[in-house]
Amino acid sequence: MAEEQDAGVSSRTQRKALSKAKILQRESEREVFRLVGRVLKKPESQRSEEEAAALLLHRDTVEELCKRQVRRNVLKRKQEEVFDGVDELKNKVRQLAVAVKQASHLVVYTGAGISTAASIPDYRGPNGVWTQLQKGRAISSSDLSKAEPTLTHMCIKMLHKEKLVKHVVSQNCDGLHLRSGLPRHTLSELHGNMFIEVCTSCSPVREYVRLFDVTERTSLHRHGTGRKCSHCGAELRDTIVHFGERGTLEQPLNWRGATEAAKMADVILCLGSSLKVLKKYTSLWCMNRPASKRPKLYIVNLQWTPKDDLAVLKIHGKCDDVMRLLMEELNLQIPAYNRADDPIFTLATPLQLEEVQSHSREVVAPPNDQNDCSDDPEEQKPTSVQGGWFGRGYGKGRQKKKKVA
């Protein structure tokens, strides 16, 4: 019995000693990294003999720190915004115009970059949502109900009207493609629409288009809006697909339309998207075909994208600037957005009387009623708010990764 107790004590002592040794080793390695890092920051001419000897002694550490610096520099270059010169931009747009004219089935993929002109923040730009969150900064609030379709939205609508664009696949949740007048069957909003809530208890799924952002109470894996279906009484849910979620709704996601359009496409034009999410949707890229039989890819973005090497042409310019030049090359008029023609007013379903106070978001006002933009006859104070999807999925995703680590 005494021998077993001694063995147990000895085993615990060994484990503690081993654990302590590992801690001391890690601390020693950290100290070496700190020392080498300080030396490498100095110009070679200013290093002492002892510091030079330390670099020779810890060559593996020097090599690892140099690799890390290279990776940081590459990442920094990818995040930088690059602008083509005036002449280069015009030349590239001419090439794009030729491709648009010759395309038999042109599909447009759009990202947050086409809505920045409407004061809606993008995600990975210098002031983007993900960029700010990575730096530990708060996201600036913005009233998305005041946003209107941009010049790019209206150009896309006209290109479809002229039968030059067959389908639009969007990552944006702002509903601006729909509000520009683009037909719904032509549009796939892969990540949802902030103006639409649905009843999934009804069959088929019943849709309610609203004049306000329905995502006030929703977030990652929590999609209930607090309002009820007027037909079956079940709780309505938003249509947003958060970071880390998989969208299953038929509309407004319209995955069927997106995949069918991708199969038929001979040209794909990507506008304002980093493509870091879209690249994961293999059905949109026909990667099962030989490279020579895939759609020709044209990209308009200020930053690096993972598809740049596969593109026939990469244009570094703001979407509105590029589309304005493109419409000139195609000799097409750019239609102005007219709130009176905004389809959201004919599509919208009024709230039930008991639901008038169910939200505090500002309402999109009809053109003849812009001074009264509330569902409630009593005056409500407008509040500056941000979309319910902004950053929420990202934050929870990072927390989970930290817990796993």
Q: Which residues are annotated as a binding site?
A: 199, 202, 229, 232
| Phi and psi angles of residue 119, each rounded to the nearest 5 degrees, phi first | 65, 25
**What's at 32, amino acid-wise?**
V
CA distance 37 to 63: 11
CA distance 139 to 329: 38
> Which two structure tokens, joined as six digits, stand for 288?
């099962």
**What's at 270, amino acid-wise?**
C
* Beta bridge partner(s), residue 269: 108, 298
CA distance 402 to 405: 5
Cis peptide before 335 (omega within 30 of 0): no
295: nearest Cα among 104, 133, 159:
104
Selected catalytic residue, list 160, 191, 242, 316: 191
Sheet holding 313-315, edge to edge: 187-189, 167-170, 106-110, 267-271, 296-300, 313-315
Whether 231 is catalytic is no
Tell me the binding residues for Zn(2+). 199, 202, 229, 232
Half-sphere exposure (CA, 13 Å, Cβ side) for 308?
A: 12
Q: Which residues are catalytic?
A: 191
